[in-house]
Structure 1
Amino acid sequence: MLLRPRRDEDLPAVVEVLRAVHAADDYPSRWPDDPAGWMSLPGLHGAWVAVAPTDGAVVGHVALVAPARLPEGPPAGGPGTAEVVRLLVAPDRRRSGVGSLLLAEAVAAARADGLDVDLQVVAGSGAVDVYARLGWVETRRHAASWVGADGVPPQVVRMAPPGRAAAEAAR
């Protein structure tokens, strides 16, 4: 699998992956009016795509933002923390390691820039278990600053990667 920085010309393909993920998992819970804009949110620190080596198709995406600028939730780790967002993998490419590669790329980019990293997911979603299997640990729960398709803010889980979770536990 090839990982590379996302380019503007990748956005139509990324939106198609998002459309497939939305159909399979209801993520995002409300389809955005401007899906390409939703993928290119303010405070973007970086974004990467996974590209299939056989046909060049975009099969996954991840982004990293400064939490203070993130519209979906409160900052978790302070000004030196970036948040992993918009991690998605085409449903037909799951369980192949694409998501893990994208996540590792975002974490490595944050750390290379001297930033800590975290993420948030909807409580009770399968994503919580996926991240937990990768060693990520819940650091807190809170109501989302956005509303789901039902008009109610869901509970979200903030998670930290294994190294940061261990450091926080040692304090």
Structure 2
Amino acid sequence: MEIRPRTPEDLPACVEALAGVQAADRYPVDWPADPGAWLTPDDIAGAWIAVDSGAVAGHVILTRAMEVSRLFVTPSARGRGLAATLLDTVRAAAAGPLTLRVSSEGAAAMRFYERSGWRRVATTRETWLNAAGEPATLHHYVSPSPGHYVSSPPA
């Protein structure tokens, strides 16, 4: 498994990987009209991918506001510590504490973040709808302090 910065040439493979995640987990909740643009928001500071046997197995971005976003691991690559490794990569590139947001529908993601030492600091209602057709609930997290960070297991 290789973690490396995402290049523009990687974007089609990232969209393909995202489609597999969306089919399995409904992330993103609604498929974007332009998934490549969704993976490349205007405030992006960096983007990394995990590549396994030439295929994109995971993805993450860091925004200029030091927020982790667009983190996903394909179903076939799960269970190997890849999400934690991607978070470690972002953390190494960040200049301070990180934040992230996760929908209440992402129970597995919330458990992962909390096991990794992330702390929930707020909960908000959004204008977009969840799977039940109700306004989505987002939980806001802040990264653990450096001395309390639970790093990824060896890959």
* TM-score clears 0.5: yes
Q: Distance in 1 between matches of 2:42 and 2:127?
A: 16
- How much has 1:27 moved relative to structure 2? 0.5
Query: Amino acid of the residue matched to residue 56 of structure 1?
Result: G
Q: Please point out which of 74, 99, 122 is paired with 2:103.
A: 122
Structure 1 residue runs of 5 or longer lacking an equivalent are 68-81, 167-171
Equivalence for 2:15: 15
Query: Amino acid of the residue matched to residue 128 of structure 1?
Result: M
- Give the conservation status (yes or no) of the 8 Å contact 1:12–1:36: yes
Count of residue pairs brought into register by the alignment = 146
- Which of the pair is proportionally richer in strand? 2
- How much has 1:133 moved relative to structure 2? 1.3
Structure 2 residue runs of 5 or longer lacking an equivalent are 149-155
Query: Amino acid of the residue matched to residue 104 of structure 2?
Result: A
Q: Distance in 1 between matches of 2:62 and 2:9?
A: 19
Q: Please point out which of 92, 100, 105 is paired with 2:76.
A: 92
- How much has 1:49 moved relative to structure 2? 0.4
| Helix, strand or coil at the partner of 2:129 | coil
- Which of the pair is proportionally richer in helix? 1
Say whether 1:102 aligns with 2:61: no
Relative to 1, partners in 2 of residues 1:117 and 1:145: Cα closer, same or farther, differing over 3 Å?
A: farther
- Give the conservation status (yes or no) of the 8 Å contact 1:30–1:149: no
- How much has 1:137 moved relative to structure 2? 1.2
Q: Distance in 2 between matches of 1:39 and 1:48?
A: 11
Equivalence for 1:65: 63
Q: Which 4+ stretches in 1 moved above 6 angstroms? A: none
- Give the conservation status (yes or no) of the 8 Å contact 1:121–1:158: yes
CA RMSD of the aligned region, Å? 1.7
Equivalence for 2:126: 144
Q: Please point out which of 82, 103, 114 is paired with 1:132.
A: 114
Q: Distance in 2 between matches of 1:128 and 1:118?
A: 13
Q: Distance in 1 between matches of 2:20 and 2:62?
A: 21
